[in-house]
Amino acid sequence: MTKNLKSAIFPGSFDPPTLGHVNIVERSLNIFDHVIIAVGINTSKKNLFSTDERIAMLQEIFKDNENVTIEAVDGLMVEYAKKKDVFTIIRGIRTISDYDYELQMSLANRSLDGRIETIFLMTEGHLSHIRSSIIREVIAMGGTSAGMLPDVVERKLKERL
């Protein structure tokens, strides 16, 4: 196995982290020895939680897993990949509507650095409806996350909304 196959970067906004994200990390660890969760900036989104808050939630979720590290990325993901010397990116695809965006992002990343490969994992069927934006709306209107969020995130989200 080559060096690049041992670690992978799982980038995202994680605002907030969901059980869909947790599932992708757990499955990635069946393929890679180590997963770096990279909390990045998506300029098209308005954040609910600060980067530090999202990192704190992810740290709590993965506190017992030494094969997961969590870091903030404040610039381009490819620059972060170069700094880490890890050129494999993992992304989850839930539905066909994710495909266009993911294709564009993976091609953009490759045009910035041809060493980058993005590996897509199909989200488990029972988690494919989970979207951070929908959950935020449900909780804001007094609903429960109904198996969509880790406990720590549900608590924080209720406090916030």
DSSP run (H or E) holding 4: helix 3-6
Amino acid at 159: E
Residue 91, SS3 per DSSP: strand
Q: Is 40 near ligand PNS (CB under 6 A)?
A: yes
d(CA 152, CA 131) in angstroms, rounded, equals 17
How many CB atoms within 10 Å of residue 96? 7
Q: Is 11 near ligand PNS (CB under 6 A)?
A: yes
160 is an active site residue = no
The residue number with the shortest CB distance to ligand PNS is 40
Instruction: Kindly state the number of chain residues that form the binding site for ligand PNS, as judged by CB under 6 A.
Output: 12
Q: How far is the CB of 105 from ligand PNS (least distance, A)?
A: 4
Q: Is 83 near ligand PNS (CB under 6 A)?
A: no
Q: Kindly list the residues in this chain that would bind ligand PNS in the complex (CB under 6 A).
A: 11-13, 40-42, 45, 76-77, 105, 108-109
